[in-house]
Amino acid sequence: MLTFVDEILLLMLDDEKGSFLPIRESTMGYVLAGAVLMDLAFANRIDTDPSQLMVLDKTPIGQPLHDRILETIAASNETRDTKAWIETISREATEIREQSLAGLVENGILESQEEKFLWVFRARRYPMIDGRAEREVKLRITGVLLSDETPDPKDVAIICLADACNILREVFSEREIHRIRPRIDQIRKLDLIGREVSGAIQEIEQAIMAAMTHAHH
């Protein structure tokens, strides 16, 4: 079964080129950190409220990196909120991404190709060889956003992550996104971890905008 980290990475990849869509590194970090926390929350290992993130059960879930992060949270002596943990875990984004990609390759969903460019530099691409998993995620997203049905919490979580890194445009046209924006906004509020991921990304974007405005003057 795919984790939220796996699912959001599949959406972040350009299926044909096998390269990542243009997503700011800090944004990808926060989204992957949020996905790890969602995996732990849905496995009943952690719980959250607006002021703290709590460990319910230290039993590993069988994903090495998730389990190491769970151990770190459990070993922490201070009470920290979800946003603080998202910021801490985002520093491990590269490892989270690489571990998930390796699993997706091992499961025959992606293939790993190394290519050289400018004769010297190497880049790794991950073209999709079995699109069923990604299609299923996209179907779940469209099913929720194009209806008034009460959503499944798992679908809420993946929509939060996808909207936070602005990749719903891979599923819908710009016009459609504009039309369903009220529904997206309704859904993305329903998951606290997702809300904190979006909040952290917005703060960074505002800081960048402010810095750019300052530089102009």
Partner 1 sequence: MMNIGEEKADNVVVISIEGRVDGLTAPDLENRISEIVDRGDVRVLLDCEGMTYVSSAGLRIFLTGARKCQLNEGKLMICALQPDCKSVIETSGFHTVIDCHDTREAALAAAS
Any idea how long the chain is?
Answer: 217
In this structure, what token pair is assigned to residue 130? 């079995």
139 interacts with partner 1 by CB under 8 A = no
Q: Does 64 bind partner 1 (CB under 8 A)?
A: no
- Whole-angstrom Cα distance, residue 213 to residue 217? 7
Q: How many CA atoms lie within 13 A of 52 on its CB side?
A: 9
10 vs 144 by CB, closer to partner 1: 144
Question: Of 15 and 81, which has the nearer Cβ to partner 1?
Answer: 81
- Exposed/middle/buried for residue 66 (C-beta within 10 Å: 0-12, 13-18, 19+): buried
The CA distances from residue 209 to 109, 176, 202, in Å, are: 38, 27, 10
Pick from 151, 158, 172, 198 the residue near partner 1 by CB under 8 A. Answer: 151
C-beta of 46 vs 70, nearer to partner 1: 46
For partner 1, the binding residue among 152, 206, 210, 211 (CB under 8 A) is 152
Residues 187 and 144: beta-carbon distance below 8 Å = yes
Neighbours of 70 (CB within 10 A): 24
Q: Which of 2, 36, 41, 160 binds partner 1 (CB under 8 A)?
A: 41
Supply the minimum distance, in Å, between the C-beta of residue 117 and partner 1. Answer: 44
Binding track, positions 162-201, relative to partner 1; x by CB under 8 A: ------------------------x--xxxxx-x------
- Residue ranges binding partner 1 (CB under 8 A): 41, 44, 46-50, 54, 56, 149-153, 156, 186, 189-193, 195
